[in-house]
Amino acid sequence: MITQPAVKARQVIDLTRDWGDWSSVSLYLNRCQVDTPSELVEATWAHVSLLRPQVGKVLDLGAGDARFAFGGTYAEYVGYEIDGDRCADVKLPPNARLLNRCAFSDDVDNADVCIGNPPFVRNQDLPAGWREQASKVLQRRLGIHVSGLANAWQYFFLQALASLKDDGLCALVIPYEWVSRPSARALRTFIEEQRWEVNVYRLVDTTFDSVLTTSSITIVDKAKRTGTWSYFEETAEGKYLSLPSPSGSSAGVISYAKRSDIPEGMPRAIRGLSPGTQKVLTLTEGERVRSGLMIGRDVVPCITTLRTLPGDLRELDDSAFKKYYRSRGQKCWLIRTDIGQSAALRSYLNAVPAEQYQTATCLERLNWWEFKMPPLPDVLIAQSFKGEFPKGVRNAVGARAVGGVTGIYNATEKQMVAIVGGLDGQDLRDRVVAHSNGLRKIEINQLNALLLDKFSLAGSRD
């Protein structure tokens, strides 16, 4: 008897043959399937109807169960969906059809409207073969080189733009952060060069329960060559307020520093380690003890979140580490990969079930658990924050920065005091684009720009 996963694998094997192994392909397919709320489908169509009262051909490149085939008036709807299980039993309007193949398999160029909710899949979880094929298509069609840090929706966004007529309209549900993130710079630059009109409607954070990012309805009108970009914020009542900038303030978004901008020896922020799966490569105190792993020999301290720390704590020493991490069951131990493994650590890793490390990062490695051990930062600082400035602490315990915790290196004693004190009380809330659930998220090179501005004026080692 063939198991269900085997059946599904056989159904899509011809479509995904060159994408990579089945584990990475199935991971991608599973993470593509986030249902669009019916209210959001209606809201997106409402924006389209205001700009295009009559619509000819509609294209949906990540159709799923074809929800966007309903809610609008058009002559023809064509949806692409690679996962046949998602669209097997869908009852479509008579003027709509679904194609069970990859959205990058055809060069459509006659769509009047491209609409939909393209998959939100992180770049780390994209099958290498799919990313390579999609990149080649976009390079050929648009002459654009997509950043290796781009998430899946960027590829679909660009394919949608390429598939429209010269006067077509693109209406997609995508993360709001695309308006400022460096990984989307090539996409923004391309649109700016065409001088298409852009309207971005930031949605309330409860739009998607399972996606930790602020969403938007983004409208690109190729018929209007004004070159203007406008931003709006959805209210709790479903109305939209105009914003003066992507961040919502007249001050605008914090600039991004380039790596080459930072002189040698100056304080520098570096992204926290992404080990592949924190679930098994970082441990709580209880998990460490039960597995017989020894501190120093098998694991070293790590910090995956600063949310557990009181707001007035400025230094993470052994006492605070024990109180707020070890005693509270937080993930605070990182396995060592920089020395030979003990029998206890080998036993622990060999006992990890395969389904617990099914991430693209782990699956691409010769040894699924092997990563380069990061250095010790002087300061640990969060990227996400709700107050005026991200929470930061001096790293007296000698912990590695992991995940959403950033490490700051090359800081003097005086500089460390300034950093954990919020760089003299700077308020960044209106200068950072909304992320999710009331959180703001500062990007690594925005933080580097702040450090450069602050400390270059005072002397490189002041």
User: What local confidence, expressed as pLDDT, does residue 23 receive?
Assistant: 55
d(CA 61, CA 156): 7
Note whether residue 278 is domain-resident. yes
Q: What is the pLDDT of residues 167-194, one digit of tens each?
A: 999 999 999 889 988 888 899 999 999 9
Note whether residue 426 is domain-resident. yes
Residue range 244-250: mean pLDDT, rounded: 76
Same domain as 236, residue 287: no
Same domain as 157, residue 300: no
Phi, psi (deg, nearest 5) at residue 168 = -80, 170
Short-list 200, 203, 212, 199, CA closest to 235: 203
Q: What is the pLDDT of residues 8-52, one digit of tens each?
A: 444 444 445 555 555 555 555 555 556 788 899 999 999 999 999
Note whether residue 248 is domain-resident. no
Band of residue 153 on the pLDDT scale cut at 50, 70, 90? very high
Note whether residue 252 is domain-resident. no
d(CA 156, CA 172): 10
User: What local confidence, expressed as pLDDT, does residue 5 receive?
Assistant: 41
Note whether residue 250 is domain-resident. no
Range of the domain at 95: 4-243
Same domain as 274, residue 239: no
pLDDT surpasses 60 at 369: yes
Residue range 231-236: mean pLDDT, rounded: 86
Number of domains in the chain: 2
Same domain as 332, residue 199: no
Helix segments in 241-380, DSSP class H: 278-281, 285-290, 318-321, 343-350, 360-363
pTM of the model: 0.70
Identify which has the larger pLDDT, 88 or 71.
71
Residues facing 299 on adjacent strands: 295, 335
The total of other beta-carbon atoms located within 10 Å of residue 386's CB is: 12
CATH of the domain at 186: 3.40.50.150
Instruction: List, in order, residues 6 or more apart from 462 with CB less than 8 Å away.
Output: 412, 414, 415, 455
Q: What is the DSSP string of 407-451?
A: EEES--HHHHHHHHTHHHH---TTSS-EEETTEEE--HHHHHHHH
Note whether residue 358 is domain-resident. yes
User: By the 8 A CB rule, do 446 and 255 touch?
Assistant: yes
User: What local confidence, expressed as pLDDT, does residue 458 receive?
Assistant: 52
Same domain as 237, residue 116: yes
User: By the 8 A CB rule, do 111 and 168 touch?
Assistant: yes
Phi, psi (deg, nearest 5) at residue 295 = -65, 130
Short-list 133, 115, 131, CA closest to 123: 131
Same domain as 299, residue 159: no
pLDDT surpasses 70 at 64: yes
